[in-house]
Amino acid sequence: MPQCGMALLLTPLFAPVETWRQLFQREMPDLEIRIWPDAGNRDDIEIAAIGRLPENVLRSFPNLKMIVSLFAGQDLLMADTTLPAGVPIVRASPHTGDPMMDEAALTHVLRHHRNLPDYLLAQRRAEWVSLPRIRAQDRKVGVLGLGIIGLNTAKCLAAHGFQVAGWVKHPRKAEEGIEIFAGKDQLGAFLARSEIIVNLLPATAETDNILNRETLALLPKGASIVNLGRGQQIVDADLIAALDSGHLSGATLDVFRQEPLPKEDPLWRHPRVTVLPHASRVPDARAMVPLICAQIARLRRGETLIDVVDPAIGY
C-alpha cells in the first residue's frame, strides 16, 4: 500500500495502461493507481485523472480532493451537471502547448497558402494551371483563441514568417510577432485582415456558431478556414454557402458537430472541403504525468493549485 494513503483513479486514455503505471511509478512511486472502472474502496480515491466519467460517478468518491482533466478542451467534462461542488478541476496540458497541434496547424496553413487544394482540383481536371505564389511574409494568418495551445500555435506560424494575428475574448498584453485583437468589437477587424483562419477557440456558449453567415462574410474574398477547435463553432450550411459563392476558397475541418461525421453529410463530398477524423493531435502521457504529479505534490503540501479550470467560463 502507498505510504501516503492516497489513491488516484485513472481513465487511461492515449496510452496503454502499463505505460501510465510506469510513468506514475517513476514520478511518484508511493501513489496508488486504480484504473476505472476498478475503483476499489471509493473512500481511498482523492484524485481523479480522467477524460469523462458517467454522471454521478465522481460524486460517489467522498474524499475526492482534485479532478485532473486529461483533455485539452473542457466541454465534455463540464457538461456533467453532477460534478461534485467545491472539488477543483485542473488541467494537465504543458504550458509549451502541443507540438502535434503546431504541426497540424502549420501543415494546413501551408497547404492553403500554397494553393494545394486548387492544384488538386486542377489535377482532377487534367489542367495545367499557374496560381499566384505568395511569400509567407505577405500572407496574413489569424488564430482564433490564444490559450495554451493557440498561443504556441500562433508563435509557430509567426516563426515560419507569416503575418500572424490572434483574437481573444479579453484584452491582453502584446505577444512578440503576434498582433492582438480582443473582444466582440474587434472581431470584425480581425476577420477582415485574415486570409487564412485557424480556429482554436474553447467550446463555450459564446463561441458556439461564431463562424456564421455574418462573420464569414467579413473575411477577405478567397480566404480559407482551418477548424481545429470544435465543430459547433462553425455553421456548416453557412460555410458551404460561402464556399459555393466563391467568397471562401477552401476549408480544412478536423472537428464536427457530430463525430464520426455521418456518411450522408454534404461536407464529405464538397470539392473545397477537406475532412479529417479529429486527427490533429493525441495528448502525450509522458508530458502529462509529471504535471499531474506536480499538482498532487501541491495538494499534499496544502499549496495553491495552478492551471485551475473556471467552471463559470468553461475553461
Catalytic residues: 230, 278
Q: At how many degrees (to 10) do helices 99-113 and 116-124 cross?
A: 60
d(CA 266, CA 277): 15
Task: Name residue, grid cell 482534485.
Answer: 66
Return the SS3 of 47: strand
Nearest to 248 by CA among 221, 267, 286, 288: 221
The dihedral through the CA atoms of 178, 184, 190, 191 has a sign that is: positive
Other Cβ atoms less than 10 A from the Cβ of 311: the count is 13
The dihedral through the CA atoms of 177, 147, 110, 179 has a sign that is: negative
* Contact residues for 254 (Cβ-Cβ < 8 A; gap 6+): 104, 226, 227, 228, 276, 277, 278, 279, 280
Phi, psi of 179 (to 5 degrees): -80, 135
Going by their DSSP bridges, the two strands 45-50 and 7-10 should be labelled as parallel
